[in-house]
Amino acid sequence: MPTKSAARTTAVPEPPRIQFEGVVKKFGLNTVLDGLDFSVARGDRVTLIGPSGSGKTTILRLLMTLEEANGGLISIDGEPFTHERKGKRLVAASEKYKRRMRTKIGMVFQQFNLFPNMTVRENITEAPQHVLGQSKDVANMRATELLAQVGLEGKADAHPSQLSGGQQQRVAIARALAMEPKILLLDEVTSSLDPEIVAEVLAILRDIALSTDITMLIVTHEMQFARDVSNRVLMFDGGRIVEEDEPEAIFTNPREKRTQDFLKAVL
């Protein structure tokens, strides 16, 4: 990646990887995000914390286009995400445009969502082959590498139903990485795992975080993990950012009362 480091040294500021500007999201009468503004720089690993219902997961789902915003603008690398430029105007993005933008983003779900009709290998190679157009050999080779990385070398031909929850989640991580995303969304990836398995999944994620420059957006209840992995923490409440800081600062010395109460409750 020499070009990237070169770009970093030049004076021209890069556009943020992710930018939310006045984003509004309502479910019926319930306003989940109320004019949210924030941005994430390239390579940032941002953890979103806060009580449930504060809109953290909604942010990830908006980015993955699993939900549609009711207002505001989301941009990726300076390009509008949910809207596209037609001349000078912004119009609602076509499915084709959204698909192009989406290739930059991968997601790991709380419930794994592996495809039960495919083997572990097929789960990982299916999208690279049929969405990115990789050859079977290339996709298979990459799958083997990724499986080794998540410690599941021998499981390529197993079906998801034959794996434990922790193993399934590791496959899901490999599956997301196989798409070479610039941004990885982690939505409570350890919440449906048995406590003794959580550590193995988190160790893998920590590895990935520290060995790549993938931008990560993390929703988690594992505060230790947030501390280890992220370089920024955003505290959410009621669809707004209450406080943001480096993990060390926010965990040891939170300024806001809401953050203090929340951390007291979860730590």
Partner 1 sequence: MNNVDAFIAALPGIGRGILVTLELTLGGAVFAFLIALALGLATRSRLLLVRGATRIVIEFFRGTSLLVQLFWLFYVLPLLGIRLDSLFCGILALALNYGAYGAEVVRGGISAVSIGQFEASRALNFTSWQRMRRVIFPQAWAQMVPPFTNLLIQLLKGTALATFILLHDLNFFINELRRSTGDTLFAYGIGLVIYFVIAYLLTLGMNAVEVRAKNRIAAGPTLREVMGLKPPKARSQIDQTPRSRMTGVIS
- Where on the chain is the footprint of partner 1 (CB under 8 A)? 64-66, 99, 102-103, 105-107, 109, 111-117, 126-127, 130-131, 159-162, 175-176, 179
Nearest approach, Cβ of residue 13 and partner 1 (Å):
29
Give the side-chain half-sphere CA count within 13 A for 126: 15
Helices (H), the chain: 2-9, 56-63, 95-102, 120-130, 136-149, 165-177, 195-211, 223-229, 247-252, 257-266
Nearest approach, Cβ of residue 73 and partner 1 (Å):
21
Nearest approach, Cβ of residue 159 and partner 1 (Å):
4
Nearest approach, Cβ of residue 66 and partner 1 (Å):
5
- Contact (Cβ atoms closer than 8 angstroms) between residue 229 and residue 216: yes
- Contact (Cβ atoms closer than 8 angstroms) between residue 265 and residue 244: no
Q: Using the minimum distance from each CB to partner 1, give the nearer residue, 42 or 175.
A: 175
Q: Using the minimum distance from each CB to partner 1, give the nearer residue, 31 or 113.
A: 113
Pairwise CA distance, residues 183 & 215, whole Å: 5
DSSP 124: H
Q: Using the minimum distance from each CB to partner 1, give the nearer residue, 158 or 223.
A: 158
Nearest approach, Cβ of residue 162 and partner 1 (Å):
7
Neighbours of 61 (CB within 10 A): 16
Q: Using the minimum distance from each CB to partner 1, give the nearer residue, 160 or 254.
A: 160
Pairwise CA distance, residues 67 & 162, whole Å: 32
Q: Is 67 exposed, middle or buried (0-12, 13-18, 19+ CB in 10 A)?
A: middle
Residue with tokens 């034959």: 162
Nearest approach, Cβ of residue 220 and partner 1 (Å):
18
Instruction: Tell me which residue of 93, 66, 73 sits closest to 24, measured CA to CA.
Output: 73
Q: Using the minimum distance from each CB to partner 1, give the nearer residue, 8 or 99.
A: 99
Which residues contact residue 19 at a Cβ distance below 8 angstroms, ignoring those fewer than 6 apart? 38, 39, 40, 73, 74, 75, 76, 78
Q: Using the minimum distance from each CB to partner 1, give the nearer residue, 178 or 233.
A: 178
Q: Using the minimum distance from each CB to partner 1, give the nearer residue, 117 or 252.
A: 117
Nearest approach, Cβ of residue 116 and partner 1 (Å):
5
